[in-house]
Amino acid sequence: MFLVDSHCHLDFPDFAAELDDVIARSRDAGVQMMLTICTHLSKFEQVRAVAEAYPEVYCTVGIHPHEAANEPEVDAETLMRLAEHPKVVGFGETGLDFYYEHSPRAEQERSFRAHIAAARTAQLPIIIHTRNADDDTLRILDDEMEKGAFPGLIHCFSSSHQVAERAVEHGMYISFSGIATFKKAEEIRGSARMLPLDRLLVETDAPYLAPIPHRGKRNEPAFTRHTAACLAKELGLSEQAFAEATSRNFFTLFKKVPSPF
């Protein structure tokens, strides 16, 4: 089994006391690659240090929409310079979150567009967070794609199927988290069934959103396997076939990561 956790936060304090064990459990579960995601530019060095410490861990650089007004204003050039490091393979997470609105909408959009500019120029993927902001997310994606294509994905997918379809039309990928295993998430599973298999990824968003049967506990990359098993069943595939397909998709999107395939 070869699975990739395409989105986790291994630099978070939740893992500090046992990161070696967390990585070991991931290997034992068949999760052979992890992408740890930056949320604060001011903490990027900590994120990068985790990626440097483990051969199977890579990272991104960026600012979460929650932090758009709290972190120093960032531009595409700064992001691209930090992404020159061999372990930095994408930008984000960035995007829009109008559920909590920890940062003003205008600041979120400004930061989002700066990340997109970096992704377009460097041709490295952008990791998009969108919550309660579907219309504005699509507006920005449509507008920015007119300026020139850029690779990316919508992570922890929980939006409408329209958002997924439009993103795929733009050449992007859709990543599913443990939410897909929840009993009331039939609409999300339906989107997974309707999307092309070659556009699907899986993730944990650890330490958040642990899948069934671990719901309510701290999430970790090893639990990617439960989400993958759930979606494989939905798509009528074996776990092995689904794991291989989504892993190949990861390496197709994140071209800086050496592929074992």
Check which CATH number belongs to the domain holding 41 and give it: 3.20.20.140
Q: How far is it, in rounded angstroms, from Cα 66 to Cα 64?
A: 5
Residue 18 marked in a binding site: no
Mean pLDDT on 63-83: 97
258 in a domain, yes or no?
no
Compute the distance between CA of residue 60 and CA of residue 175 in angstroms, rounded to an integer.
Answer: 16
- Is 221 part of any domain? yes
Please spell the DSSP secondary structure of 100-158, one letter per residue: T-SS-HHHHHHHHHHHHHHHHHHT-PEEEEEES-HHHHHHHHHHHHHH----EEE-S--
In a domain, 261, yes or no: no
234 is in an annotated binding site: no
The boundaries of the domain holding residue 243 are: 3-253
Rounded (5°) CA angle 18-256-143 = 105
Domain count, the chain: 1
Task: Band the pLDDT of 128: cuts 50, 70, 90.
Answer: very high
> Binding residue per annotation — 226?
no
Q: Please, which pLDDT band fits residue 224 given cuts at 50, 70 and 90? A: very high
155 is in an annotated binding site: yes
Instruction: Report if residue 187 sits inside a domain.
Output: yes
Tell whether residue 85 is among the known ligand binding residues: no
- Whether 168 maps to a domain, the answer reads yes
Full-model pTM: 0.97
Judge whether 102 is annotated as a binding position: no
In this prediction, residue 115 carries a pLDDT of 98
| pLDDT given for residue 239 in this prediction | 98
